[in-house]
Amino acid sequence: MPYDESVPPTRRRRSLLAATAFAAVCLTAAGCGAGDDSGGTRAEPGQGGSGTSAPPPSKSAPAPDRTSASPTPSSKPSKPSGPSGSTSGGATGPLSGKTVVIDPGHNPNNHLHTGEINRQVDIGTTHKECDTTGTSTNSGYAEAQFTLDVSHRLRTLLQKQGAKVVLTYDNDRAYGPCVDERARIGNEARADAVVSVHADGSAVGNRGFHVILPALVRGGKADTSKIVEPSRDLGTRIAGLFVRDTGSAPSNYIGGNSGLDIRKDLGGLNLSTVPKVFIECGNMRDPKDAALLTSAGWRQKAAQGIADGISSYLEG
């Protein structure tokens, strides 16, 4: 990425320190290279694209964790609604006064509303589907179940540090929200950081996590010029601390083992006006990664890694 003289020196120093810390941590798990803008092997995660269709949750899928499970959403179509707001729960801590928006990728009932989620929406540079169904493990554990579970755990961790946490949805709507609304929720909350939680659906043997950063995009309603650098700082910190907390290595198929990827085709990033990243926590179609993703204990580690990355970014 070209050096940007308009970025304040303090922000550049933070990014450099974060990158150095990530490289040091990453050496314990895998070699690190530079992020790329290849676009990866799958279409927009949770943002409309080809998105592998996930079947309804099967009996072989892991039972929901009772500490984070929510009621099953209605299967009736719903009108667009506001975000699932949340307060800090009265806690005080290092993140008091900060607002974090968590975006759980997809929706467990999207597959029941294909007409609604296939509707085209404007993402600035082009049009894409409102949302997608997401992927699943071979045993039927849906990505949308995974993302909600990790998001609930992440919310709890951040609230304990005093942050105000807003979820883009929380099992409170039948489908969606659409990708443009997901971005708008973060913008309207004036979030200090937004993280969209996902899991990938790639080929067997493709393993590891990667954090997706916004590319420099200007077109229509999209202008990421003000969020590219802070989002890279946020994503780099999350990547480094995700390695530390989960023991997982960066992706061996996207990002040159850096754990970072840059994309310009994601509506959730293109339309954001606040620092935002996506994280693909692993590959649901690889048996070894799937064993991690279906483990409640590992999901707690994943939430901790993301929370630690967010905290590191917000505390500077």
List residues with catalytic annotation: 280
Q: Quick check: 45 and 200 in contact, CB under 8 A?
A: yes
Q: Quick check: 231 and 194 in contact, CB under 8 A?
A: no
Element (H, E) at 21: helix 9-26
Beta bridge partners of 167: 84, 102
Distance set, CA 297 to CA 62, 149, 150 (Å): 12, 12, 11
**122 CB-contact burial (10 Å; exposed 0-12 / middle 13-18 / buried 19+):** middle
The CA distance from 278 to 85, in Å, is 20
The CA distance from 140 to 246, in Å, is 23
Q: Quick check: 224 and 270 in contact, CB under 8 A?
A: yes
Q: Is the dihedral of CA 268, 200, 65, 296 positive or negative?
A: negative
CA 3 to chain centre: 26
Cβ–Cβ contacts within 10 Å for residue 221, how many? 13
